Amino acid sequence: MGAAWNHATSATDYGYFDNIRIPNLCTLSPEPTLPSTTLTFSAIGANSATLNWIRGNGTECIIIGSIGGAVSTTPIDGASYVANNTFGLGTAMAPGEFVVYSGSAGTTTINGLNPTTNYEFKVFEYNGTGCISNYLMPSPATATLTTIGCIPAAEPTTPSSAPLIVSGLTSSIQLAWTRGNGSYCMVVIRAGSPVTTPPADGFIYMANSVFGTGSTTAPGEYVVYSGTGTTVTVTGLLSATTYYFGIYEVNGTGCNSNYLTTPAALLNGTTASVAGYNLYFGNLHSHSDYSDGDIDNVCNGAGSAYCCFDIGNTALNFDFMGIADHNHNEGPVMTIAKYASGLTEATNYNSTHLDFVALYGMEWGTISTGGHVAVYGINQLVGWNAGNYNTYCAKGDYNTLFNLVAAPNAYTTLCHPNNTDFGTLQAHPTMLHLIMPL
């Protein structure tokens, strides 16, 4: 770090610096010398396959998989990656390339594959964790496989029956039904008119009881339940709106699934009307001393969020206050401990101040990689700085972030919106109830 300024005429000049970041000093672990070898496959199915390999001499290894072509990326020394054996849910290394395993074993089963599709996998040995991790790049164990085609299960013969609306509130509907003879059943919902498109044989659907966040069978038609039960409560609905449901029995899973679509159990229900709205005033974009807030140094150090809530509570016509401290340590220094403390301070403040709502979250992202969004309702710090997050999300990966925000009771706001930032929301109507400008 260096600085320069014009010398004044006084005998002594002073230079003052703030927001100085001293990075953690990491010394890489020794690099492994023997790569993994002999990568083979067993139990190859339409949607899954088991990988087997002979370990090298690293303490652990990481596997990167690619769909439709060769793996083009390698891990980076000092970086941490999130592995998930469901293909596509681990860290995205490049388009179509994901981390599918990290550990010390010599076998793993990968799920979420597509039928009759080519995949390549590479195994990299490494030593160390976090910023001291050191990967052996040359000669990784490499192999390709092709998944088999699908063999549909037998179609159920008895449909679900006797559907009924148990309750309908302003934003939710609970329905129940009697099961048919499928191994499980699936519920599809549509607003305003009957369901037109039942689930299709061989397709994989992700169910979510929050309206608009599950898989779709057609535009506007969402899967809200998949399981062996006889009831579901669907939330995230609009008041005074009629919703239509279709309940379908199923045998098989993944591309082997076979749905009984005719006949199906069909019904509709209407949410209750809202008598009126109360207006509350507050701010959802502020900071404490835990990042770059508290410029006037009134709420320094421990308990900064609680102190800021106290100041907000004294403002005229101020009913709620959201503190969204920056999630990273690039400039403002956020830590896992500070984030946990902020959440606790908000909870404690709400327990003793019943006329005020204190919210604590994070301002996620950087200006250079897409901008800032304030996130509330997630009780873990989401970030990318090694050793400084509870949940990993790569810098600039807003798609993954918004999928995390799709969890119940979580939402996000755009911190510095531009009038061009909303052009794609019409193409993604399911995000409209999760994102709002600020």
The vertex-113 CA angle with 109 and 116, nearest 5°, equals: 120
How many angstroms separate the CA atoms of 403 and 193, rounded? Answer: 27
> DSSP of 30-84, one letter per residue?
PPPSS--EEEEEES--SS-EEEEEE--SSSEEEEEEEESS-------TT------
Q: Give the span between the Cα atoms of 140 and 60, in whole angstroms.
A: 13
What is residue 327's predicted lDDT score, i.e. its pLDDT? 92
| Mean pLDDT, rounded, of the chain | 88
The whole-number pLDDT of residue 431 equals 45
Mean pLDDT over residues 338-355, rounded?
A: 95
pLDDT of residue 289: 92
13 vs 118, higher pLDDT: 118
**pLDDT 10s digits, 146-155:** 999 888 899 9
Tokens (6 digits) for 346: 């908000």
DSSP letter at 29 equals: P
pLDDT digits over 108-141, tens only? 999 989 889 999 999 999 999 988 999 999 999 9
Q: How is the chain split into domains, by residue range?
A: 37-146, 161-270, 282-437
| DSSP class of 21 | -
Helices (H) and strands (E) in the chain, counts: 3, 25
Residue 20 pLDDT: 54
Whole-number pLDDT of residue 430: 43
Determine what percent of the chain is predicted with pLDDT higher than 70. Answer: 89
d(CA 415, CA 326) in angstroms, rounded, equals: 11
| 198-225 mean pLDDT | 92
Q: HEC states along 296-312? A: CCCCCCCCHHHHHHHHH
- When pLDDT is cut at 50, 70 and 90, the band that residue 438 belongs to is very low
CA distance 145 to 126: 24
Q: Could you tell me if 376 and 359 are in contact, meaning their C-beta atoms sit under 8 angstroms apart? A: yes
Buried b (16+ CB within 10 A) or exposed e, 68-92: eeebeebbebbebbbbbbebebbbb
Lowest mean pLDDT, pick from 99-103, 232-236, 262-266, 398-402:
398-402
Quickly state the pLDDT bin for 18 (edges 50, 70, 90).
Answer: low
Under a CB-based contact definition with an 8 Å cutoff, are residues 350 and 43 in contact?
no
Under 8 Å between Cβ of 292 and 331: yes
The predicted-structure confidence for 56-73, as pLDDT tens digits, reads as follows 999 999 999 999 999 999
Q: Which residue has the higher pLDDT, 438 or 37?
A: 37
Task: Convert the pLDDT of each residue in 356-366 to its tens digit.
Answer: 999 999 999 88
Q: What is the CA radius of gyration of the chain?
A: 26
Q: Do domains 37-146 and 161-270 have the same CATH topology?
A: yes
Compute the distance between CA of residue 61 and CA of residue 75 in angstroms, rounded to an integer. 11
| Amino acid 343: pLDDT | 95
Q: 161-270 adopts what CATH topology? A: Immunoglobulin-like (2.60.40)
Which residue, 20, 14, 51, is CA-closest to 36? 51
Higher pLDDT, 402 or 267: 267
pTM above 0.85, yes or no: no
**What's 37-146's CATH class?**
mainly beta
Instruction: For residue range 250-301, list pLDDT tens digits in order.
Output: 999 888 899 999 999 999 999 999 887 788 999 999 999 999 888 888 998 8
Q: Which residues pair with 40 in a beta bridge?
A: 52
Residue 331 above 80 pLDDT?
no
Q: What DSSP state is assigned to residue 26?
A: -
Strands (E) in 111-172, as ranges, are 118-127, 134-135, 141-146, 161-168
pLDDT of residue 421: 65
More confident residue, 11 or 302: 302
pLDDT-derived band at 402, boundaries 50, 70, 90: confident
Q: How far apart are CA 169 and CA 237, in angstroms?
A: 9
Give me the pLDDT at residue 16, please: 53
Q: What is the pLDDT of residue 337?
A: 92
Q: Is the pLDDT of residue 77 over 90?
A: yes
Per-residue pLDDT band at 422 (split at 50, 70, 90):
low
For the segment 362-388, the average pLDDT, to the nearest whole number, is 89
Beta bridge partners of 164: 176
pLDDT band at residue 10, thresholds of 50, 70 and 90?
very low
